C-alpha cells in the first residue's frame, strides 16, 4: 500500500484530503504543528473512515524531526499544505511567513531528497495571478504578488521548478486553488478559523449562527454586474479529490505540472449572501463598506487543463457548497473546541 505524507493534514483542506486518501486506500502520515488546527479533526476523520492515521506534531522547519519520520516510513509522495495563509497578517510579520512557508518548504524538500522521496504536490493559490488582465484565467497567465503571503507561494513555485530542472527524478504538481469553501457531507469536519475570519464564507456562516453581528461587504463599486467582487468558489471535497488524483498520476505526469483548481463559475459577494439566505433560511445582515486594500474585482478559473491531464472536474454546485458549510457551522458553532 502506498504511503502519502500530508503536511498540514489537520487543517481545513488537509483533513478533507486525508479522509479521501484513506478512502482511496492510501496509508497516511500527517505532520502538523497544530498552530492553526486541532487534532480533533483527525480523530473525526478516523471515526468517519474507520481507518487510522499516523500523526506527528512536528514543525516542517524541524529537520531532525522530519528526518526521523522519513526514516520510519517509506513515503511515496508528499502533499504539502503546511504554512501560514493570512494575507493581512503577512504584511505585519513577513519574516514569519518567509520562515515558515519558504524555509519550511526548502527544509522539507531537502529531507525528502535525502530520503529518496521525489514526489510532491504543493498547495499554491490563485493569488499568484495578481490582478489578472482578463477572466477566465489559464495557467499560462503572468504571475505576480502584491503581499508577502502571495510572494511565498510564487517563490515556492519557482524553487520547485528549479529543483525539477536540476534532476528529472523529481515529480512535482503545483495546484493553484481558487476559493475553497464547504465541508464534508457528515458535518463532522470543516473550516475552523481562529479569531475573526478573513474570508467571506466563514464570515457569512458565523453571522448566520449568531457569532458575529453583521457582514461588511468590501465595496460595491467594482466593474462587475452588481458592483461586488466576483470569485470562483470551489467545494473543499472537490479540491481534495484533485489531490488524490494528482498523487495517483504524479509519476505518469513526470517533471513539474501546474493546474488551476476551480469550477469556472464566478459568483459575486451579493450572490453568495442571497444564495446562503435561500439555502439556509437564516438572515445575514450586512453593510457596504470601503474596498479592502489589495482586493481585485473578479477572478475565476479555466480548469480545463486539470480535466485533460488529471481527469478531474469539480462536481459540487454552489447550493451544495453552502448547505455543507452550514451543516458544519450549525452543528459545530465553536468549531472543534
Ligand atoms: P489551515 O491553516 O487550515 O491548514 C494549514 C495547516 O498547516 C494547519 O493545520 C497548521 O497547523 C499547519 N501548519 C502551519 N504552519 C506549520 C508549520 N510550520 N509546520 C507544521 N505545520 C504547520 O489552512 P488551509 O485552508 O487548509 O490551507 C492549506 C494550504 O492551502 C495552505 O498552504 C494555504 O496557503 C493554501 N491555500 C489555501 C486557500 C484557502 O482559501 N483556504 C487558498 C489557496 C491556497
Ligand atoms: C483571499 C486572499 C487570497 C487567497 C484567497 C483564497 C486576501 C486579500 N486575499 O482572497 O490571497 O488566495 O482568499 O483563500 O485576503 N469579502 C467581503 N467581506 C468579508 C470578506 C470578504 O466583502 O468579510 C469579499 C472580498 O472583498 C472578495 C470576496 O468577498 O470580493 C471573497 O473574499 P475572500 O474570501 O477573502 O477571498 P479572496 O479575496 O479571493
| pLDDT tens sequence across 119-174 | 999 999 999 999 999 999 999 999 999 999 999 999 999 999 999 999 999 999 99
State percent of the chain over pLDDT 70. Answer: 100
Centre of ligand 2 to C-alpha 230, Å, is 10
Whether the CB-CB separation of 31 and 105 falls below 8 Å is answered with: no
User: HSE of 228 in the Cβ direction (CA atoms, 13 Å)?
Assistant: 18
Ligand 1 site, residue 59, Cβ cutoff 6 A: yes
Mean pLDDT value of segment 184-200: 96
Q: Which ligand is nearest to the CA of 287?
A: 2
What confidence tens digit (pLDDT) does each residue in 14-68 have?
Answer: 999 999 999 999 999 999 999 999 999 999 999 999 999 999 999 999 999 999 9
Q: What is the residue whose three cell numbers read 531528497?
A: 113
Please state, rounded to an integer, the average pLDDT across all residues of the chain: 98
Residue 268, C-alpha cell as written in the block: 459575486
| Choice from 81, 127, 153, 233 to test ligand 1 binding pocket (greatest atom count within 8 A of CB) | 81
Q: Residue 231's pLDDT is what?
A: 98
Q: Residue 33's pLDDT is what?
A: 98
Q: Tell me, yes or no, whether 201 lies in a domain.
A: no
Packing angle of the helix pair 104-115, 148-166 (nearest 10 deg):
20
- CATH of residue 117's domain is 3.40.50.720
Q: Tell me, yes or no, whether 18 lies in a domain.
A: yes
Whether the CB-CB separation of 33 and 7 falls below 8 Å is answered with: no
Q: Is the link from the previous residue into 218 a cis peptide, with omega within 30 of 0?
A: no
Centre of ligand 1 to C-alpha 12, Å, is 7
Q: What is the count of structural domains for the chain?
A: 1
Q: Residue 337's pLDDT is what?
A: 87
Among the atoms of ligand 2, which is closest to the Cα of residue 217?
A: 22
Ligand 1 site, residue 182, Cβ cutoff 6 A: no
Q: Residue 208's pLDDT is what?
A: 96
What confidence tens digit (pLDDT) does each residue in 207-234 have?
Answer: 999 999 999 999 999 999 999 999 999 9
Q: Tell me, yes or no, whether 65 lies in a domain.
A: yes
Q: Tell me, yes or no, whether 322 lies in a domain.
A: no
Taking the mean position of all CA atoms in its chain, how far away is CA 128? 14
Q: Tell me, yes or no, whether 172 lies in a domain.
A: yes
Q: Tell me, yes or no, whether 273 lies in a domain.
A: no
Residue 107, C-alpha cell as written in the block: 527544509
Whether the CB-CB separation of 116 and 77 falls below 8 Å is answered with: no
218 conformational bin, left if phi > 0, alpha if psi -120 to 50, beta if neither: beta
* Domain carrying residue 82: 3-182+233-263
Among 109, 82, 125, which residue's Cα sits nearest to residue 163?
Answer: 109
| Choice from 199, 227, 229, 290 to test ligand 2 binding pocket (greatest atom count within 8 A of CB) | 199
What confidence tens digit (pLDDT) does each residue in 257-284 have?
Answer: 999 999 999 999 999 999 999 999 999 9
Ligand 1 site, residue 123, Cβ cutoff 6 A: yes
Centre of ligand 1 to C-alpha 233, Å, is 17
Ligand 1 site, residue 152, Cβ cutoff 6 A: no
Among the atoms of ligand 2, which is closest to the Cα of residue 126?
A: 12
Residues 167, 165: Cα–Cα separation, whole Å: 6
Whether the CB-CB separation of 45 and 21 falls below 8 Å is answered with: no
Residues catalogued as catalytic = 149
Centre of ligand 1 to C-alpha 103, Å, is 15
Q: What are phi and psi of 125, to 5 degrees?
A: -150, 155
| Choice from 6, 13, 180, 325 to test ligand 1 binding pocket (greatest atom count within 8 A of CB) | 13
Residues 204, 187: Cα–Cα separation, whole Å: 17
pLDDT band at 1 (very low <50, low <70, confident <90, very high): confident
Q: What is the residue whose three cell numbers read 505576480?
A: 144
Centre of ligand 2 to C-alpha 200, Å, is 6
Ligand 1 site, residue 197, Cβ cutoff 6 A: no
Centre of ligand 1 to C-alpha 281, Å, is 31
Q: Tell me, yes or no, whether 200 lies in a domain.
A: no
Q: Tell me, yes or no, whether 284 lies in a domain.
A: no
198 conformational bin, left if phi > 0, alpha if psi -120 to 50, beta if neither: alpha
Ligand 1 site, residue 12, Cβ cutoff 6 A: yes
Amino acid at each position: 500500500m502506498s504511503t502519502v505524507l500530508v503536511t498540514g493534514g489537520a487543517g481545513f483542506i488537509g483533513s478533507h484530503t486525508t479522509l479521501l486518501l484513506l478512502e482511496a486506500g492510501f496509508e497516511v502520515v500527517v505532520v502538523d504543528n497544530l498552530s492553526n488546527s486541532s487534532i480533533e479533526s483527525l480523530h473525526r476523520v478516523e471515526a468517519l473512515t474507520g481507518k487510522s492515521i499516523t500523526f506527528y506534531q512536528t514543525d516542517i522547519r524541524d529537520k531532525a524531526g522530519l528526518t526521523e519520520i522519513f526514516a520510519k516510513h517509506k513515503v511515496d509522495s508528499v502533499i504539502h499544505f503546511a504554512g501560514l495563509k493570512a494575507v493581512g497578517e503577512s504584511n505585519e510579520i513577513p519574516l514569519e511567513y518567509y520562515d515558515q512557508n519558504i524555509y519550511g518548504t526548502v527544509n522539507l524538500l531537502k529531507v525528502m531528497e535525502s530520503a529518496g522521496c521525489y514526489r510532491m504536490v504543493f498547495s499554491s493559490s490563485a493569488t499568484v495571478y495578481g490582478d489578472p488582465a482578463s477572466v477566465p484565467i489559464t495557467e499560462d497567465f503572468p504571475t505576480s504578488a502584491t503581499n508577502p503571503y502571495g510572494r511565498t507561494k510564487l517563490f515556492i513555485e519557482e524553487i520547485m521548478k528549479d529543483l525539477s530542472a536540476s534532476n528529472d527524478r523529481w515529480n512535482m504538481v503545483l495546484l493553484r486553488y481558487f476559493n475553497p469553501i464547504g465541508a464534508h457531507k457528515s458535518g463532522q469536519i470543516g473550516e475552523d478559523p481562529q479569531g475573526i475570519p478573513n474570508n467571506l464564507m466563514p464570515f457569512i456562516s458565523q453571522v448566520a449562527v449568531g457569532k458575529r453581528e453583521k457582514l461588511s461587504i468590501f465595496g460595491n463599486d467594482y466593474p462587475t454586474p452588481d458592483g461586488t467582487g466576483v470569485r470562483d468558489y470551489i467545494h473543499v471535497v472537490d479540491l481534495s479529490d484533485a489531490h488524490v488524483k494528482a498523487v495517483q498520476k504524479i509519476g505518469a505526469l513526470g517533471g513539474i505540472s501546474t493546474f488551476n483548481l476551480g469550477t469556472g463559475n464566478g459568483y459575486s459577494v451579493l450572490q453568495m449572501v442571497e444564495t446562503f439566505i435561500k439555502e439556509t433560511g437564516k438572515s445575514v445582515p450586512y453593510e457596504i463598506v470601503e474596498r479592502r486594500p489589495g482586493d481585485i474585482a473578479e477572478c475565476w478559473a479555466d480548469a480545463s487543463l486539470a480535466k485533460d491531464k488529471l481527469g478531474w472536474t469539480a462536481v459540487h454546485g454552489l447550493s451544495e457548497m453552502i448547505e455543507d458549510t452550514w451543516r458544519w457551522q450549525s452543528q459545530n458553532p465553536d468549531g472543534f473546541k
